[in-house]
């Protein structure tokens, strides 16, 4: 039995991942705003510290972390809050638990990116830059200048790029900790259903093409996450794995930079 920490575990992909890992006989310490082993608000520095401390009180060793907590960009959603939860909340949890991950003698972190990185044109790249620089105040201020729908992909790109940049360093793989990310497309969750009701952006939820002609299920993303947490994915470091029914492949049959 291994011990994992999953944030955003009360619903959606986080709940599906928690259920699958527990079905396989592993222990999962859940983190969320409610209905969790550790109740904490990842949008604030104090809440992130509480989340890390809460997990630490429950275990000396963590074999994997899956920061699923996130906010979708939609009409009326605070763009700065999207930055704080999606990027800084996720990274703070992972960084805070790094000693517990190192103690496992082989651990894995799976970050939740999104295919909106490549499917949504014109998103706010400067927000991602500020995130990667670790400047939350600047990232929040910059995000506040645009609609949250253009900030969401920026936070997800920053997570994927952070995993690639940090994953190959001594602080992480040097301690036996693999960092990877998954990039889902449209997934049938309560978050997606709420987005469909958005008067401005709702019509775009199902506008992107898929080869399979349907949204993904949270259990399908959970299966991929479980694989990346397992020893079977031991060669994967800094990878960004798209699980979007073919949307990215349809939109970008020849990814930028290939053959350059």
Catalytic residues: 152
Is the alpha carbon torsion for 103, 158, 43, 75 positive or negative? negative
Helix (H, G, I), strand (E, B) or coil at 6: strand
The pair of structure tokens assigned to 6 is 């999953």
Count Cβ atoms below 10 Å from residue 240 Cβ, excluding itself.
18
Give the CA distances from residue 45 to residues 17, 50, 85, 158, in Å, rounded to whole numbers and listed in that order: 25, 9, 10, 19
Strand pairing report for 3-7 and 240-243: unpaired
Q: For residue 151, count other CB atoms closer than 10 A to its CB.
A: 31
For the chain, the straight-line distance linking the first and the last C-alpha, in angstroms and rounded, comes to: 45
Torsion angle, CA of 226/63/13/67, rounded to 10 degrees? -140
Q: Tokens 């604030």 sit at which residue?
A: 44
Burial 82-102 (b: 16+ CB within 10 A, else e): bbbbbbbbbbbbbbbbbebbb
């Amino acid at each position: 039995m291994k011990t994992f920490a999953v944030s955003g575990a009360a619903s959606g992909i986080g709940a599906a991942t928690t259920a699958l890992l527990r079905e396989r006989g592993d222990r999962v310490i859940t983190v969320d705003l409610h209905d969790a082993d550790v109740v904490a608000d990842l949008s604030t520095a104090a809440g992130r510290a509480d989340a890390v401390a809460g997990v630490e009180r429950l275990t000396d060793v963590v074999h994997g972390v899956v920061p699923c907590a996130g906010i979708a960009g939609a009409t009326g959603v605070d763009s700065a809050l999207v930055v704080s939860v999606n990027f800084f909340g996720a990274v703070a949890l992972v960084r805070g638990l790094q000693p517990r991950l190192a103690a496992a003698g082989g651990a894995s972190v799976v970050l939740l990116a999104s295919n909106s990185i490549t499917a949504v044109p014109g998103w706010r790249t400067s927000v991602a830059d500020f995130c990667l620089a670790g400047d939350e105040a600047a990232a929040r201020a910059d995000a506040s200048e645009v609609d949250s729908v253009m900030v969401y992909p920026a936070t997800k790109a920053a997570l994927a790029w952070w995993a690639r940049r940090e994953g190959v360093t001594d602080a992480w793989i040097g301690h036996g900790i693999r960092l990877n990310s998954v990039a889902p497309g449209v997934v049938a969750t309560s978050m997606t259903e709420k987005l469909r009701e958005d008067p401005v952006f709702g019509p775009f939820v199902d506008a992107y093409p898929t080869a399979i002609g349907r949204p993904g299920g949270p259990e399908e993303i959970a299966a991929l996450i479980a694989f990346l947490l397992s020893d079977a994915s031991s060669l994967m470091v800094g990878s960004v794995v798209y699980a979007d029914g073919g949307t990215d492949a349809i939109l970008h049959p020849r990814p930028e930079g290939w053959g350059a």
